[in-house]
Each structure stands twice: as C-alpha cells, then as structure tokens.
C-alpha cells in the first residue's frame, strides 16, 4: 500500500556512518510505494541525547532506530517503554504517536525469529551465551521467554557474567562463569546451542573469535554468531569445518528490522528487498 504522505525516520547513535539501516529501510520504503518516506542517520553525542529525542517530536519524526551508545540511556527520555525493552534494559526502536514516544526492543524478536527459521527449538535446551553485554541481555531474555531449561553465560569478566545471571534468575535457570574456567568448559560439553554476543570477530577484526573450545560441544550443537559483518566469522568458519551446524547474524538483523518496520508503518516489509539492500551494502566495504 503506497502513500504520498511525507514521513521521516532515522537512526540515533554515535557513530552511525557505518550503519546499514538507511540503506535497508529506504529500499523497503521504495518497494512498498512510500517514495516520501525518508530515513536519515542522526549522529548524536551522549550529552546531546535529550535534545535529539525532543527533536524527534519537534520535527515530527514517525520513528527512529537506536544504536550504541544510547540504547539504555534513551529510556529515561521516553514517554513509555515496552515490557520486553524494560526487562532487557535497552531500546533499539522508538515510535512517535502524536508526540508520545514509545521504546521497543526488536532484537529479542529478531533473535527468536532467526532461531525459528533455522528450525531450532529453544524450549528445554541448554544454551551457552558468550558475552555479558547489552546484546547478551536480549538473547538471554529471548531464551527465558522460550523456557530454555538451562542458560550458561561465559564472559571475560566473571563478575559481569554473574551479575547478568542474577538479573534473570526470576525467569529461568541461569549461571555465569569465567569463560576460561574449568566449570564453564564442563557446561559447554552439554550445550545444545552456543551464541556469540561479543564483538570478537566483527569487521575489521575478522581474525578474532571468543576463546571457546568447540571440540567440547556435542555432535549437532548449533553455533550461532549474531555478528553480521562478516556473515561467516572465524567462529562460524571453525565450527563449520568441524561439521557443526551454524547460523550467522544476517537473519537476526533483518528480522529485527522487519519488526521495527511493522512498528513504524503498521505493515510488513518485503524481506527479500531488505536482504538484497543489506548484502549490496556489505559488498561495498
């Protein structure tokens, strides 16, 4: 369904010059017949976030995506926050309804939808999460929502891993460990899925990977890296060479974008168009 109405969207963060969001959403808007829907990068320094959020209202932006370093800080400047975003403690999508700004977190939707597309059932699984940062919180909440039997967090900082685990103890069986510890290695032996939520292996540091011994994994365990650039990280390449099934971060990125598009427009985008725009953008680098 097309529209001649002018609507503005953007992405708040710093830096945002590398973001694929403008390319992806513009392609989706054009394909849907929304030639007057604009999507622009909105580079915003930390001390200017309040004014940027007020600017969304003043300039009548319909919505915005939110990226590092503002996903948590922006919550205090919004009029309402969705339940998932409140539990995760981060917002990545803001919708403006007549001056009322509501924050959402579509990462959890994208994560779970990508697992479903890969035919992985998170119910009753033992999941190992690598990393204890913001991305780990969305993944952890998604696994709790799907009633994973056991969730193990391994991180460089064991105190951070333990603190994250305690934040979610009311929602499931969650434990945090130093990822170099013998206790963590023993947990890896019974994992059904390993999910990397760290930036280790992300472009341009493509020779990095988290310090996990994939040989400890049971046969058939899924190795999932939410990094999307490169699509096949060193972690996934290593797992594939060992005969383990793998899942990259492209699906999660596109599917969380699909949900944000729905929140922005009330309609579903052409996912093939979004995927083509993303792949084209990544090939330009």
CB atoms within 10 A of CB 124: 11
- Residue 71 annotated to the active site: yes
Report the C-alpha gap between 61 and 39 in whole angstroms. 10
pLDDT band for position 283 (50/70/90)?
A: confident
Residue 283 vs residues 129, 163, 233, 253: alpha-carbon distances, Å:
29, 39, 15, 16
Average pLDDT over residues 202-215: 95
Nearest Cα residue to 270 out of 29, 21, 10: 29
Average pLDDT, the chain: 95
In tens, the pLDDT along 51-100 reads 999 999 999 999 999 998 999 999 999 999 999 999 999 999 999 999 99
C-beta neighbour count of 67 within 10 angstroms: 18
Q: Which one is catalytic: 7, 48, 71, 160?
A: 71
What's residue 242's pLDDT? 98
The mean per-residue pLDDT over the stretch 185-203 comes to 97
CB 126 within 8 A of CB 192: yes
- Gap between the Cα atoms of 93 and 103, Å rounded: 6
208: nearest Cα among 238, 183, 188, 184: 238
Q: State the pLDDT at residue 5.
A: 87
Q: Say yes or no to pLDDT of 156 above 70.
A: yes
Half-sphere exposure of 80 (CA within 13 A, CB side): 9
Q: Give the domains, in start order, of the chain with CATH numbers.
A: 7-105+251-283 (3.40.50.10860), 108-248 (3.40.50.720)
């Amino acid at each position: 369904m097309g529209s001649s109405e002018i609507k503005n969207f953007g992405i708040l963060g710093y830096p945002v010059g590398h973001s694929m969001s403008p390319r992806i959403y513009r392609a989706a808007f054009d394909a849907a017949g929304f030639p007057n829907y604009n999507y622009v990068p909105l580079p915003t320094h930390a001390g200017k976030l309040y004014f940027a959020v007020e600017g969304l209202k003043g300039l009548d932006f319909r919505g915005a995506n939110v990226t590092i370093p503002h996903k948590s800080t922006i919550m205090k400047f919004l009029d309402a926050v969705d339940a998932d975003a409140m539990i995760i403690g981060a917002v990545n999508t803001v919708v403006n309804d007549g001056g009322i700004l509501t924050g959402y977190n579509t990462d959890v939707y994208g994560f779970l939808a990508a697992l479903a597309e890969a035919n992985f059932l998170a119910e009753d699984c033992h999941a190992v999460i690598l990393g204890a940062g913001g991305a780990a919180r969305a993944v952890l909440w998604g696994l709790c929502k799907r009633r994973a039997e056991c969730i193990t967090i391994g991180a460089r900082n064991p105190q951070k891993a333990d603190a994250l685990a305690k934040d979610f103890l009311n929602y499931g069986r969650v434990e945090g460990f130093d990822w170099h510890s013998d206790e963590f290695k023993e947990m890896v032996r019974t994992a059904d899925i390993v999910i990397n939520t760290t930036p280790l292996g992300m472009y341009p540091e493509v020779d990095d990977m988290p310090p996990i011994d994939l040989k400890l994994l049971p046969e058939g365990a899924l190795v999932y890296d939410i990094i999307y650039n490169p699509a096949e990280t060193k972690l996934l390449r290593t797992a594939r060479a060992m005969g383990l099934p793998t899942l990259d971060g492209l699906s999660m990125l596109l599917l969380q974008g699909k949900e944000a598009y729905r929140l922005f427009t009330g309609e579903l985008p052409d996912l093939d168009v979004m995927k083509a725009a993303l792949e084209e953008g990544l090939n330009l680098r």
